[in-house]
Chains A and B, each alone.
Chain A
Amino acid sequence: MTMTDGKVLLEVNNLKQYFPIKGGVLGRTVNQVKAVDDISFVIHEGETLSIVGESGCGKSTTGRSIMRLEKPTGGQIIYNGEDLFALSKKEMRRRRGDIQIIFQDPYASLNPRRTVFQTIDEAMTIQKVGDKSNRRQDIGELLKTVGIGEHQMNLYPHQFSGGQRQRIGIARALSVRPKLIICDEAVSALDVSIQAQVLNLLKDLQRRFKLTYIFISHDLGVVRHISDRIIVMYLGKIMEISDQKSLFNNPGHPYTYALLSSIPSTKMDEKKARVILHGDVPSPVNPPTGCPFHTRCPYVFDQCVSEKPVFYQIGENQSAACHLLKNGKVEFKNMKSPG
């Protein structure tokens, strides 16, 4: 399933997304929340790249920055040899058909005053997809593809269930024939049974339309099911980038290891050494010096506090930013976790 040798579709270089904190009478910027702090990665055609991490780690912001829904602070998003951040607003609007996004909350992602037809028609009209005279048939087809009845296109969002609304959101994203779809916690708000249906639908659509996904989630179970490669983020920075197999079997970063050990197991007899992280996630306003994870890492040593770790390649498709790895890969299972 891994398609990591495919062509590069999108390249994220040194992406930074800071949000100003305004204060005082004059509304001056007194500080910044470093939601995404200098991250780089590539995404290959046809793959599913997941971004995981705790809430507030910047995974959603990364997706929104790639979509240019936020005003970028710095960095580059290279798509088709073009830096999306360098485009004017107008040029960007024309390119939006290529990259689409599916949102978390199906109750907020559809305009309550517009019918399904109006919502999808808007997208197609703006991106000039298809022929206006065939619009009804096209939208009918599209709705069938995502599992909504053709005859339901004149209904309003409140007449659908959460799962159906999410399908409509998917149909809207698909309607402009994108290459890349960012799924921002796309199934998190759904019931488990509906989650599985929507995930399977996403997989089907990927095969059918040769889509590439950036799948943003905090749910490692879902991520394991759908991903080819996974990015682990913590406090606005990438901790580890790895293919799915290596990450789950042999995590390269202590943070990944801690995350994985938090997945509940169904095997009664399997004794799991659970790593309990102590303390809270530090504030992204004043991130810790050196490695951002050093305040909570069980394996912390002097260098972690003073020096930012670089990425070490520890497998064919695996690299992680941790000082422990400078002499090669570390088996966390063999290390005892200090209480």
Chain B
Amino acid sequence: MQESASNTPEKEVKVIISHRKAVLRRLYKNPHVVVGATIMLIFILMAILAPILAPYDPFEQVPARRLLPPGSEHFMGTDNLGRDILSRLIFGARVTLLLSFSATFVGGALGTLLGLVSGYYGGPFDSIIMRVIDVFLAFPGILLALFLVTMLGTSAMNILIAIAFFAVPTFARITRGSVMSAKKLEFIDASRAVGATDSRIMFVHILPNIMTPLIVQATLLIATNILVIAALSFIGVGVQPPTPEWGSMIEGGREFVGRADHIMFFPGLFILCVVVGINILGDGLRDALGPKQTK
């Protein structure tokens, strides 16, 4: 009994806080996390504050001001219909971020659920699910999304479904693997021994302990999804004009290459920045959060 440390209650509160602090500190001490998160924050703020930040109406067409190069009045120039590119890019962040975040969330949640159940119960159910997932993993994601969108028709909802769909297999695989190793831990047996139900064990005991790889994967997937959305819009099956979307903006500038390169250049730059930003963040999270948890 001597080994029980005689912490005073005040001390103990401090310990808990310092534990949470330790996780946070590891996050903000990691330069990748800081840089990536800052870039993401800028884009997210831009999307939220779009109506305040945008200097012009993104839909307003001014025929007299077509194809203006970047200048003092139009910082990034105008497109072939005389719309302000900066304003369209700022509003386009809304579409892109909303779609890619929600698709990742929906697909990730579904895949996680599937992987959780499959890895926990194992057996024939697991085998069937995993074979089906192998088939989907064999397709390139964009091909799958393209196929679904052409089948379902091009609306924001259908694009979301298509992209979410392609997140499911990856998440299911990652979750299943983590569950299979986590379910062998003794505390799982311990909670089964006190009578915890299967769903309680899965959601209360296993899931919180395998979140790290899932968070990292989700971050990286958001980046992929931004590219997929842009690609779908570029080939004309994604977000439909006149809704400002970065991919379709690039497509709109395709005809004017050589005459007005800025129409393609700036949306491309935005896509590049946001994707690089998320990837840096994802790499940072992976280093800061895992694979070894704090003891």
On A, residues with C-beta under 8 Å from B are: 27, 64, 67, 69, 93-94, 96-97, 100-101, 103-105, 107-113, 122-123, 126-127, 147-149, 151-152, 154-156, 158-159, 161, 163-164, 167, 169, 172, 176, 194, 197, 201
Instruction: Tell me if B138 counts as interface (CB < 8 A to partner A).
Output: no
Contact yes or no, B193 A155, CB < 8 A: no
Contact yes or no, A155 B15, CB < 8 A: yes
Inside 8 A of B192's CB, which chain A residues have their CB?
69
Inside 8 A of B2's CB, which chain A residues have their CB?
197
14 examples of A-B residue contacts, CB within 8 angstroms: A69-B193, A93-B195, A93-B197, A97-B194, A105-B186, A108-B186, A151-B7, A151-B8, A152-B12, A158-B19, A159-B15, A163-B3, A164-B3, A197-B2
Inside 8 A of A176's CB, which chain B residues have their CB?
194
CB distance from A114 to the nearest CB of B (A): 8
Contact yes or no, A147 B12, CB < 8 A: no
A-B pairs with CB below 8 Å: how many?
A: 96
CB distance from B131 to the nearest CB of A (A): 12
CB distance from B150 to the nearest CB of A (A): 36
- Pick from A109, A148, A152: contact of B186, CB below 8 A: A109
Inside 8 A of A126's CB, which chain B residues have their CB?
194-196
- The docked-state distance in angstroms from the alpha carbon of A151 to that of B7 is 8
Instruction: Tell me if B295 counts as interface (CB < 8 A to partner A).
Output: yes
Q: Mark B219-249, 1 if CB is under 8 A from A, else 0.
A: 0000000000000000000000000000000
Name the residue on B nearest A182 (C-beta). B193
CB distance from A152 to the nearest CB of B (A): 7
Instruction: Tell me if B64 counts as interface (CB < 8 A to partner A).
Output: no
Contact yes or no, B12 A96, CB < 8 A: no
Inside 8 A of A112's CB, which chain B residues have their CB?
209, 293
Contact yes or no, B191 A103, CB < 8 A: no
Inside 8 A of B204's CB, which chain A residues have their CB?
122
Q: Mark B189-209, 1 if CB is under 8 A from A, else 0.
A: 111111111000000110011
Instruction: Tell me if B1 counts as interface (CB < 8 A to partner A).
Output: yes
